[in-house]
Amino acid sequence: MEQGGREDQTTTFNKYAFACAIVASMVSIISGYDTGVMSGAIIFIKDDIGISDTQQEVLAGILNLCALVGSLAAGRTSDYIGRRYTILLASVLFMLGAILMGYGPNYAILMVGRCVGGVGVGFALMIAPVYSAEISSASSRGFLTSLPELCIGIGILLGYVSNFFLGKLTLKLGWRLMLGVAALPSLALALVIMAMPESPRWLVMQGRLEGARKVLLKVSNSTKEAELRLSEIKVAVGFDETCGKVPEKSQGEGVWKELLVRPTPEVRWMVIAAVGIHFFEHATGIEAVMLYSPRIFKKAGVRSKDKLLLATVGIGLTKIIFLLMALFLLDKVGRRRLLQISTGGMICGLTLLGFSLTMVDQSSEKVLWALSLSIVATYAYVAFFNIGLGPVTWVYSTEIFPLKLRAQGASIGVAVNRTMNAVVSMSFISISKAFTIGGSFFMFAGVSVLAWLFFYFFLPETKGVPLEDMQLVFSKKSCAKNLVTKT
Residue 292 lies in a domain: yes
* Domain boundary pick from 196, 217, 244: 196
Instruction: Quick: pLDDT tens for 331-349.
Output: 889 899 999 999 999 999 9
Residue 231 lies in a domain: no
Q: Are residues 280 and 424 in the same domain?
A: yes
CA distance 399 to 396: 5
CA distance 411 to 212: 24
**Mean pLDDT, rounded, of the chain:** 84
Q: Are residues 321 and 406 in the same domain?
A: yes
Q: Are residues 185 and 297 in the same domain?
A: no
Q: Are residues 190 and 338 in the same domain?
A: no
Q: Is 401 helix (H, G, I), strand (E, B) or coil?
A: coil
* Domain boundary pick from 196, 226, 243: 196
Instruction: Quick: pLDDT tens for 37-82.
Output: 887 888 888 888 888 878 887 887 788 788 888 988 888 899 889 9
Residue 454 lies in a domain: yes
* DSSP string for residues in 293-354: HHHHHHHTT--SHHHHHHHHHHHHHHHHHHHHHHHHHHHHH-HHHHHHHHHHHHHHHHHHHH
Residue 213 lies in a domain: no
Count the domains in the chain.
2
* DSSP string for residues in 207-262: T-HHHHHHHHHHHSSSHHHHHHHHHHHHHHHT-BTTTTB--GGGGTTTHHIIIIIS
Q: Are residues 447 and 313 in the same domain?
A: yes
Instruction: Quick: pLDDT tens for 263-305.
Output: 889 999 999 999 999 999 999 999 888 767 777 777 666 767 6
Instruction: Quick: pLDDT tens for 164-203.
Output: 888 888 888 888 999 999 999 999 988 888 888 999 989 9
Q: Phi then psi for 66, rounded to 5 degrees? A: -70, -35
Q: Phi then psi for 172, rounded to 5 degrees? A: -70, -30
Residue 94 maps to which CATH number? 1.20.1250.20
Residues 6+ apart with CB under 8 A from 368: none
Predicted TM-score (pTM) of the model is 0.77
Q: Are residues 312 and 422 in the same domain?
A: yes
* Residue 445: per-residue pLDDT: 96
Instruction: Quick: pLDDT tens for 211-249.
Output: 999 999 999 888 998 998 888 888 877 766 655 555 555
CA distance 28 to 476: 35
Q: Which domain holds residue 168?
A: 14-196
Q: Are 148 and 127 in contact (CB under 8 A)?
A: no
Residue 318 lies in a domain: yes
